[in-house]
Amino acid sequence: MKTELKKKIGILGLGYVGLPLAVKLSSSFQVIGFDISSFRVSQLHKGIDETLEVSKNNLINSFNKNLTITNNEKDLKNCNIYIATVPTPIDERKKPDFSFLINVCKTIGKLLQKGDLVIFESTVHPGATEEICGPELEKNSDKLKCGKDFFLGYSPERVNPGDKVHTIDKINKVIAGQNKDVEKIMFNLYSKLTDGEIFIAKNIKVAEASKVIENSQRDINIAFINEIAKICQKIDISIYDVLDASLTKWNFLDFKPGLVGGHCIGVDPYYLSEKAIKLKINPQVILSGRQTNDGMGKFIAKSIENKIKKNSKILFLGVTFKEDVPDMRNSKSLDLMKILKKRHRLYFHDPFIKKLRNFDFANIENSTTETYDIIVLCVPHKYYTSLGAKKLFRFLKKEGVFFDLKGYFRNKKLKNYFSI
């Protein structure tokens, strides 16, 4: 295998991970960005990135350099390096769903030529790249053999949606390849992507494991704090007051209670636990954390309903999975809304989301007279925090209550205010 860095890179999947990757790499290489969604490709050609990860100027400038975006598989022909950045979700049974990964392998497999390199950035359990992706690529290729005719690499994505500090061009990257030549190519490639450290893992399984435990560790830590929050509520003290005190110790870890959703933290532990179960290991800590965090919607709903009457009018603020992103993937806000809607009249608002099936939008920007029995500040977008508590309280009835899930306004000494 030739170790000089090849010039034509195909990136498959242009979401939160793939698009910033394609834009950044196009400053050094010819890049073909591929997505199966014709609508997504059409929007990107207009300079519109609905994920808000790439600005219009950056996108247009990339088109004027080395970036081509398409939904036609044939445009990927003659790429030498393929990078797959497709989602790896879970199904209704909370089992790993490899369908996107398998489908992208089918697409790449048909295009493979001798000497090509296929890199995966999608989060998977240890072993998946070589045990699932390699054979699938082989099966769909023209009788090429993995590790002989084409090669595999893995570099777990570390995109944090909405984070303008830890951007793709600054973060450390973990890489691993099937052999030293692959690692050299990957090192040279990712050195053009980021100013951060490039860490070469011992092998692909190690790199896969490193990513899936990063998010599983965070999930377990949040689950612990969520359990403490339940205890605190029973003894009538604030979890946030407790954390303020505990954080005065130098080695106390700073985790906050709340809903745990999104495409990583609420998903990745199930990939790790599934692998453990296949190895006849009981992943009780991992699954216990998941059970705790998945159950927080019911706990929070009960906390809210203890403060209001049946058929109350609720204004629910923030429905995305985290602050200041338009991302609804695995948003646990919806779980909470569905529970509350069974016994109350619920209206939602979010600066990024205007329509939700089975829920009514509250146009608070143009309303001065509409008031509610309770306001639930679920996701404290900058839009709400910049308005401030005083303006938000205008939407409350005289004896209305304000529930601040993340305790953002907890130090304001507000009347009829409570949090977890």
Query: Among the CATH numbers 1.10.287, 2.60.40, 1.10.3470, 1.10.1040, which is that of 215-294?
Result: 1.10.1040
User: How many angstroms separate the CA atoms of 241 and 238, rounded?
Assistant: 5
CA distance 204 to 155: 8
Which band of pLDDT confidence, cut at 50, 70 and 90, is reported for residue 3?
Answer: low
Residues involved in catalysis = 264
Contacting residues for 239 by C-beta, under 8 A, at least 6 apart: 225, 228, 229, 232, 233, 257, 420
First to last CA, the chain: 57
Give residue-wise pLDDT tens across range 87-114: 999 999 999 999 999 999 999 999 999 9
In the chain, where the domains are located: 8-201, 215-294
Pick from 106, 95, 96, 91: nearest CA to 12: 106
Query: Is pLDDT at 2 greater than 70 in this prediction?
Result: no
pLDDT of amino acid 135: 98
Q: State pLDDT tens for residues 124-147.
A: 999 999 999 999 999 999 999 999
CATH architecture of 8-201: 3-Layer(aba) Sandwich (3.40)
CB of 405 within 8 A of CB of 261?
A: no
pLDDT of 1 reads 59
pLDDT 10s digits, 73-82: 999 998 999 9
